[in-house]
Amino acid sequence: MKYKAICSDIDGTLLNSERDLSVRLKKFIAELPETFPIILASSRMPDAMRHLLVDLGRHSEPLIAYNGGFVIDQNGQVLDSVEIPLELVQKIIDLTQQTAIHISLYQGEKWFEEKEDYWSKREIANTKVNPTWQNHQDTMHSWSGSGSGAHKVMAMGDSNEISWLFGELHLAYSDQLHLYRSKDTYIEIAPKKISKATGLQLLLNHLYDFGMDDVIAFGDNYNDIDLIQSVGWGVAVANARPEVKSVAKEITLHHKEDGVVDTLERIKALHSH
């Protein structure tokens, strides 16, 4: 392999149509040296990423969670933690009071849900993680005691209501919040000053003796743009947003057609002769 690390987004990029890791991908990773870093970078919480590493036969790898807001090394030590301030989280919750929008709160290793409904059940199924069931105001109260905020706020609901909320938040807080519509029924809300690229740079500085140019990265969505632009070889899957494709050095196959491993196999073959 010409590159010294692989950094990949998960949903819509690394996972196949079954929302799982393909046999072909697992075989490729198993043949790499154990010292070769496989770094997952996602808007997911850490526990929703760890079971995938275990499936890859990689029990201890660093993680870039919450789009770069929570970066942990291979031992689970927190290298960086950037949260949305409590008063801003409260404003998001207040805005949705008159709507049917579902709000999920995330902080570090924990995910807080108020009620079991279509949205929370769906997230449990997709991420294979169980939330802490608690009233949001109780969560906010406990956070105010510890002076902390949220690593991520997720808003889910009817696409018209979600469009309205996106507009309101963008108008009032676009200088402080990173608003990212992963689907027309979702808004993932993170602090403005972080990204997957800043998370990767931090990991490389702390743990490895090589830089961004030695990394190959894969992604499909708006939150992958910085990452794909800043590494040595940035690859967009065929199902990626046009904006992602426009900054990528290569466009590989669809995530349902094993695009990530297709590119990895080709690059490995290219440099092994």
165-203 residue pLDDT tens: 999 999 999 999 999 888 899 999 999 989 999 999 999
90-115 residue pLDDT tens: 999 999 999 999 999 999 999 999 98
Task: Round to whole Å and give the CA distance between 50 and 41.
Answer: 11
Residues 6+ apart with CB under 8 A from 46: 63, 65, 70, 72, 108, 109
47-66 residue pLDDT tens: 999 999 999 999 899 999 99
227-252 residue pLDDT tens: 999 999 999 999 999 999 999 999 99
| Residue 133 scores a pLDDT above 70 | yes
* Amino acid present at 38: I
Q: pTM for this structure?
A: 0.94
Could you give the C-alpha distances from 92 to 32, 83, 89, 113, 142, in angstroms and in order?
44, 14, 5, 15, 18
Domains of the chain: 5-81+194-271 (3.40.50.1000), 86-191 (3.30.1240.10)
pLDDT of residue 273: 63
* Amino acid present at 205: N
66-94 residue pLDDT tens: 999 999 999 999 999 999 999 999 999 99
Contact 267, 1 (CB under 8 A): yes
Three-class DSSP category at 65: strand
